[in-house]
Amino acid sequence: MNDAPELQGQDARIWTSAKFQELVKRRRVFMWSLFLLTCLLFFGYTFVVAFVPTLLAVPAWPGAVTNIGIVAGAAVIIVSFILTGIYVYRANREFDRVIREIITETGDDEEGTV
């Protein structure tokens, strides 16, 4: 967009930094994939509940009262927790480090902090 790109100082330097553009791309792909995965997991489960509930009534093992539905329900909660763990792990290790590098490299001109 050519609408008033009035970035100044550190903002302008960050925007033009290849490292920043690359980080943003990488993080965006990572974040939206996890988001879509969570939605797929949840709405997939929901879809089964709404349209093929008989599938959930299948015993988890022969002769059991515990059925696929209970296992699937618990799995949705546990898997979504694992997904948040994966996100936080990578963000804290990789993305935070790159962001710190970008901020140091582009210089901290005090005006931005006011």
Partner 1 sequence: MKKERSDSPRSRLLFPALLLTACAPACAASTGVPDTGVSPAAIAMFIGVVVMTLLITGWAARRIHSRTDYYAAGRGISGLQNGLAIAGDYMSAGGLLGMSGLVYLTGYDGLVFCIVSVMGMPVILFLFAEKLRNLGEYTFVDVVSFRLSHTPVRIFASCCSLTVVIVYLIGQMVGAGKLIQVLFQIPYMYAVMLVGVLMGIYVVFGGMLATTWVQITKAVLILLGVSYMALMILATFGFSFETLFTRAVELHRLGSDLMVPGGFFNEPVSLISFCLLIFGVAGLPHVLMRFFTVADARAARKSIFFATGFVGYFYLLTFILGMGAIVILADQGQYFDAAGQVIGGSNMPAIHLAHAVGGDYFMGFISAVAFATILAVVAGLTISAASAVSHDLYARVICKGLAPEKTELMISRATVIAVGVIAVILGMLFQYENIAFLNGFAICIAACTNFPILVLAIFWRGLTTRGAVIGGSLSLVLTVSLLVMSPAVWVNILGYEEALFPYAFPTIFTLPFAFFIIWVLSVTDRSARAGRERGAFNSQFIRSETGVGVDGVSSH
d(CA 76, CA 64): 21
d(CA 13, CA 105): 9
**Could you tell me how many residues make up the chain?**
114
Shortest reach from residue 88's CB to partner 1, in Å = 4
CA distances from 110 to 56, 65, 96, 101 (A): 59, 65, 21, 17
- By CB under 8 A, name the one of 25, 29, 64, 105 that touches partner 1: 64
DSSP lists the bridge partners of residue 51 as none
- Say if CB 14 and CB 104 are below 8 A apart: no
Q: Does 18 bind partner 1 (CB under 8 A)?
A: no
Q: Does 101 bind partner 1 (CB under 8 A)?
A: no
Interacting positions 23-42 with partner 1 (CB under 8 A): 23-24, 27, 31-32, 34-35, 38, 42
- Say if CB 106 and CB 13 are below 8 A apart: yes
Residues that bind partner 1 (CB under 8 A): 1, 3-7, 10-11, 14-15, 20, 23-24, 27, 31-32, 34-35, 38, 42-43, 45-46, 49-51, 53-54, 56-57, 64-67, 69-70, 73-74, 76-78, 80-81, 83-85, 87-88, 91-92, 96, 99, 102-103, 108, 112-113
